[in-house]
A and B are shown apart, each in its own frame.
Chain A
Amino acid sequence: MRSDGFLKSLVSFVENGSFREEDYTLSPAQKDALDTDIPENRWLLSVQHSEKPVSARLINWFSHKGVEVFNNLYRIASVFICVTLIGILLSVVSFLPSFGSAENPAVNEVVERYVSKAIQETGTTNAVAGMISAYRGFDTLGEAHVLFVAACSVIVLLRVDPSERKRGRRLNPDRVGGDMDYEPNSDLILRKTAKLLVPLAFIFGLYVILNGTSSPGGGFSGGAIMGAGLILHSVAFGFKRTERFFGDEMYHVIKTACLTVYALLMAYFIYMGANGWDDHVWLGNPGGIISGGLILPINIAVGFEVACTMYCFYALFRKGGL
């Protein structure tokens, strides 16, 4: 019978998140038994005394203090784990070879080949560009496709259909899906600054892309700069002004064209390389703009694709369409 009551109190604990008072106080019958002190009923008293501390009182304590104790333990454990992890990582770092030393395991015949043969084999004075776009071109092709797939999934998730937007406006003029209706009315300072900075960003991005074979940079960096310039333009002057030269159609044409060109060039590289043939590409003069053979068109394609993806992310987040 007591265990039954205990079960009930457990159920009520689960349902209400706390104990009712009658679960661990004496019922009237038990009180009567205690008051009258009938010898036959003494077991009730003993049961009450022996069971209340063990089960009810324990659960009572746990339901009141347990959460607090758990939170304190949780904090102590988290600090302990963090400190231990920091200690382990720092001690591992002290075993690492020093930065840039000649005995590093990373300095092997692969690096030697890149450094000594990059100019003859790829025609780039910037060995990093030669490595990314020529030696490991297949890797970079995969990265470009990752960008493409990411942009596609963002479009699938966030795009607001134009017809839906119109219907939403008719039904509920105040609230429509994207920010399309809230044209950013930016202030004068932002507009004037953007007027100066946007052309600079575009020119600098183009320079980084075109000069990627002979100076630090390349498709990804230059594309990111151009994308940032596009975003700045649309922040400062509104979506409508940006749409005049970079709309939905423009985006799709540039993006697919760039990716196709890139994939075709890489396919040519891979086909010739796999058959052991010489890919009759004029490498240009190292150090100039036209150098690196196929790396320059690859850089241009990657740059424009990255710029498109950057702006696409921003536009979809802001207004649900390009």
Chain B
Amino acid sequence: MTLFEGILLAFLIICAISVSVTRNLLASIIIFMGFSLIMSVLWLTLEAPDLAITEAAVGAGVTSLLFFATLKKIHAIKAEDAKREEDDSDEE
């Protein structure tokens, strides 16, 4: 295992933990996107380039897009925006 792979694996573990710990749904989806991206680079280092391509397109791209669409559908993003506005007005 090279140093590069070690750093990637450490990032992978950090991402995996922070996805489940993060309270903000939008942020956790973006972290999940980062997880998939790191995973696709790891596939490359494991000499599976076809899996790397699929992981980047499906894991980082389409899955996160579907998550975003679902969040929008259940008004989770909008609710967070409203909450932030409320917080801002409270501070004022």
User: Residues of A with Cβ closer than 8 Å to B?
Assistant: 99, 128, 179, 208, 216-218, 220-221, 224-225, 227-228, 231, 235, 310, 313-314, 317-318
Contact = CB atoms under 8 A, between A and B. Distances in A.
B92 interface: no
A221 B53 contact: yes
A235 B64 CA distance: 13
B53 A231 contact: no
A224 B70 contact: no
Given A128-B50, A217-B49, 17 more contacts: A99-B46, A208-B53, A216-B48, A217-B50, A217-B53, A220-B54, A221-B57, A224-B54, A224-B57, A225-B53, A227-B57, A228-B61, A231-B65, A310-B58, A310-B62, A313-B66, A314-B66
B69 interface: yes
Interface string B11-40: 000000000000000000000000000000
Contacts of B54: 220-221, 224
Nearest to B52: A216
B69 A314 contact: yes
Interface residues of B, number: 16
A228 B57 CA distance: 7
B62 A314 contact: yes
- The 5 A-B pairs of least Cβ separation, nearest first, read A216-B49, A224-B57, A216-B50, A317-B69, A221-B53
Contacts, number: 47
Nearest to B57: A224
A224 B50 contact: no
A158 to B, nearest CB: 10
5 contacts: A216-B50, A217-B50, A220-B54, A224-B54, A235-B65
A132 to B, nearest CB: 9
A159 to B, nearest CB: 14
B70 A317 contact: yes
B51 to A, nearest CB: 8
B63 to A, nearest CB: 10
A225 B57 CA distance: 6
A225 B56 CA distance: 9
Contacts of A313: 62, 66
B50 A231 contact: no
Contacts of B66: 313-314, 317
Given A216-B49, A216-B53, A217-B53, A317 B73 contact: yes
A224 B62 contact: yes
